[in-house]
Amino acid sequence: MKSASIFFTIKRFWLPLILTSVTALIVTACNPTNFKSAAAQVPQIVTAVLSEPSTFNYALNESAYSVFGFIYDSLINENPVTTKLEPGLAESWEVSKDGQRIVITLRSQIKWSDGKPMTADDVVFTYNEIYLNPKIPTSLKDALKVGDKGTLPTVKKIDERRVEFSILEPFAPFLRYVGGIPIMPAHALQEAIRTTGSDGNPKFLSMWGTGTDPKQIVGNGPYVMESYVPSQRVIFRRNPYYWRKDAQGNLQPYIERIVWQIIESTENQLISFRSGQLDDLEVPPEGFSLLKREEKRAKFKIYNGGIDTSTTFIAFNLSKAKNSQGKPLVDPIKSKWFNKKEFRQAIAYALDRETMKTNAFRGLGELQNSFVYVKSPYSLPPDKGLKVYNFDPEKAKKLLLQAGFKFNAQNQLLDTDSNRVRFTVLTNSERKVRGDMASQIKRDLGKIGIQVDLQILSFNSYLEKLKVTQDWDCYLGGFLGGGIEPHSASNIWRIAGASHAFNLGPQPGDPPLIGWEVSDWEKQIDSLYIKGAQVLDENKRKEIYYEYQRIASEQLPFIHLVERLNLQSVRDRFQGIQYTALGGPFWNLYELKVVD
């Protein structure tokens, strides 16, 4: 949902993902101005997020709002300006001609934030004992599975600095994925992985929750956590053992401290930025015109990265399963509606997205028609088969009648058994634009006889409903985009994916589901995602992902709405900003300087 991305999706950039969505500040007894006044003594950034972190354990995280972009670096980083891969914790890598073997060489003398050396043993531990461990329920496995059988990479140590990754068959995004996933410290976590608790699970599953002293969390990124006050803030300080140095041999990053405020409202974030209490702000649609007038006087710049990489949509709960107590996850009457393709298409035609763009987004957005980022070479254009649903309420009504629905004398929509068509749209409360969108959806569907109830919850409660209880009809949400590589959404589109939200299957460690079914079109998309990752020829990959988008736009598990323009306000006092929609303002945080 990232506006709040609903489930965790692998991201390539270690900082932009955290900071391009951040904004905010909290009005509490602990006034944020206290942090701003400290800037005279120590270079810092005061930024914010819409929700508090759900865990300090990277492998178990599924929230959009996490601390990991600050405390972990990757073996290999993708430069969001050039989209090329660049050395991170690894100084170099070699890829075999068939692309099925990669040898990564670590930098010499790199250390963890507690001063212990980081070696090839940590890399092997991270993969073999955490990410590839069947007892650890991490969604990272989804992105690393290869082929029909879902085989996983083999990872082995060559020497203290070299690690070999190998796969049994081609996997096009192999280097980007093995290079981009953070490495975790064996010396701090190995015992918890290998020790079983009273519940029969590895103790690792209860390790490094948000109740842990932040100073105990060991990382390898530019910052370490210094303190955490729930629902208020996380403070990070510079990692003295971070590997980066400038050309003169000075330690990076230059900025000493990050103050990460937790403010669960875009409106309060806007107020805080305007009062000078924040250094950056993801500009909400309702705040753009006001901020634009203040830009020069208040000494900040609004960066425009064009259409955002995220996707915003509504989705219906297509699950026909029952929980372990035999209760259907979805009311069987509603389930019949939701699982009709014509019903979903009618809903799409009934939504006035142009008005939504004008009103909810103040014109600062674009209509969205596909899950793939529009600037990706894999994005299917309408003239090549992408089905587009422009506002047409009469066509919506026609589709509903063809599907067996009918209207009563009051123009209320009824199904074939004369049940009134009524369902609840779930969304999160932190973003004002979400509430505005939900209200319009209610109005638009009311015009075709459907009664929509709204349920607006805090992000973590929203996530609980979607992921754990699965007790929902329809949700309004989003996923952070995966940039140009479609495989980043594999955990969403693969049938067994942990983020296959519209028909979530049984997950490791969760109670069983009874009667879970998978449709033929889901199987088709699953097969295409397997092929798309296996084919190395870019033109052939493009055709495979084109075909998946043709099916998705016909079946509509996600009904795409409007995506915002990527607008970010940043104070002029930061030197070295290289803004892009893919990376945001702080992707190169390690080399930024405070100049006032």
Give the start-to-end residue ranges of the domains of the chain: 76-190
Nearest-angstrom CA–CA distance, 170 and 159 = 25
Give every residue of the chain whose pLDDT is below 50, as ranges. Answer: 1-33, 38-40
pLDDT value of position 10: 29
Which residue do the tokens 């006092």 mark? 573
The model's pLDDT over 67-83, given as tens digits with 9 standing for 90+, comes to 999 999 999 999 999 98
Tokens of 151: 């085989």
Q: Residues 34, 113: contact at Cβ < 8 Å?
A: no
Nearest-angstrom CA–CA distance, 483 and 486 = 8
pLDDT value of position 36: 52
The model's pLDDT over 195-235, given as tens digits with 9 standing for 90+, comes to 999 888 999 999 999 999 999 999 999 999 999 999 999 99
pLDDT value of position 35: 52
pTM: 0.85
Number of Cα atoms under 13 Å in the Cβ half of residue 133 = 22
The model's pLDDT over 482-526, given as tens digits with 9 standing for 90+, comes to 678 899 898 899 998 888 989 999 877 788 899 999 999 999 999
With b for 16 or more beta-carbon neighbours within 10 A and e for fewer, the 412-443 pattern comes to: bbebeeeeebbbebbbbbbbbbbbbbbbbbee
**76-190 placed in CATH 2.60.40.10:** no
Which residue do the tokens 């939900």 mark? 438
HEC-encoded secondary structure of 439-475 = HHHHHHHHCCCCEEEEEEECHHHHHHHHHHHCCCCEE
Q: Which residues contact 270 (CB under 8 A, 6 or more apart)?
A: 23, 281, 284, 286, 287, 290, 291
Please give the helix or strand (H or E) that residue 452 lies within, else none: strand 451-457
Mean pLDDT of the chain: 90
Instruction: Tell me how far apart the 2 most distant CA atoms of the chain are, in Å.
Output: 79
Pairing between β-strand 257-262 and β-strand 44-49 as defined by DSSP bridges: parallel
Check residue 576 and give left, alpha or beta (phi > 0: left; psi -120 to 50: alpha).
left
pLDDT value of position 177: 85
Which residue do the tokens 């005279």 mark? 40
